[in-house]
Amino acid sequence: MKNLPQKLTLALWATATSSLPVLAHEGDDPLLARVMIDQFEWRDGGDEADPYVLEAQAWIGKDLHKLWIKTDVERVDGETEEAEIQALYSHAIAPFWDVQVGVRQDLKPTPEREWGVIGLQGLAPYFFEIDAALFVGDSGDTAARLSAEYEWMFTQKVVLSPEISVNFYGQNDMHRLTGSGLSDAQAGLRLRYEIRREFAPYIGVNWTKSFGNTADFVRDHGEPTSDTQWVAGVRAWF
């Protein structure tokens, strides 16, 4: 298990490059790219310093095969407290559904962690956007994440977006304050106004809560196990 992320990277590269000769002859399947900033926001920290959060993803590729980059960063008082990046090969298996494999690097908090990733991303019935992933670390540690988002259009420009994300871990990690089982959940409600389809400021509320062993670790560390924050930010893509 020691070199699992490296092995997955090689498999990712081999799979992607093996498909290039075939795709190169498909004139009706051009190479495309997109960058999506899902959240770039300020959150009300209450009595503490206000955090700033960036959640973004980008892809390049064709209909069936794409390379995805996903990142999630949180900064507080000028310091990066959480930072994660994923590099994934994505293969379409059905309309609006992709299987993704690759690597994830947790940069903050320390110590750093490397994970192999296998996931499923797509559009479920009733237009719920789903992103589910299983992670396996160097030492055999396991984790899973499930995220769902929905867009409710009041008008052509005003959109309400509820979302939820939950994390599970297969073991305790006191260094990162994560416990086995259901670890934490985050839910948000954001109302945006699309000045253009590609650019939309928003306001909303974000709620987080720790569970089980994670809640015990967080409580022992002198931090709250749940928090509700007002947010304001922008969403953009190009």
In a domain, 35, yes or no: yes
Which residues constitute the domain of residue 140?
Answer: 4-18+31-237
In a domain, 24, yes or no: no
pLDDT above 50: residue 30? yes
Q: Which residues of 127-137 are buried (b: 16+ CB within 10 A; e: fewer)?
A: eebbbebebbb
Residue at 23 is within a domain = no
The answer to whether residue 154 scores a pLDDT higher than 90 is yes
- Predicted pLDDT of residue 12: 47
Looking at residue 138, its pLDDT comes to 84
Is 108 a domain residue? yes
pLDDT bin (cut points 50, 70, 90) of residue 27 is low
Residues above pLDDT 70, as percent of the chain: 89
Instruction: With a cut of 70, say whether residue 22 has pLDDT above it.
Output: no
Rounded to whole angstroms, the Cα distance separating 72 from 90 reads 19
Residue-wise pLDDT tens digits, 184-213: 999 999 999 999 999 999 999 999 999 999
Contacts of 11 (CB under 8 A, 6+ apart): 101
Of 117-121, 161-165, 172-176, 214-218, least confident by mean pLDDT is: 172-176
pTM of the complete model: 0.85
**pLDDT at residue 21 is higher than 60:** no
**In the structure encoding, which two tokens stand for residue 84, read together?**
């994660």
Query: Is 100 contained in some domain?
Result: yes
Give the SS3 label for residue 18. Answer: helix
pLDDT tens digits, one per residue of 64-121 = 999 999 999 999 999 999 999 999 999 999 999 999 999 999 999 888 899 999 999 9
* Euclidean distance between CA atoms 214 and 176, whole angstroms: 9
Distance CA 83, CA 55 (A): 10
Q: What is the pLDDT of residue 3?
A: 54
Question: What's the pLDDT at 24?
Answer: 40
| Arithmetic mean of pLDDT over the chain | 90
Let me know if residue 26 belongs to a domain: no
Q: Provide the 10 A C-beta neighbour count for residue 10.
A: 10
CATH, residue 154: 2.40.160.40
Our count of domains for the chain comes to 1
pLDDT the model gives residue 47: 78
Cis peptide leading into residue 109 (ω within 30°) = yes
Is 211 within the bounds of a domain? yes
With respect to residue 156, please indicate whether it lies within any of the assigned structural domains: yes
Give the rounded percent of residues in the chain with a pLDDT score beyond 90. Answer: 77
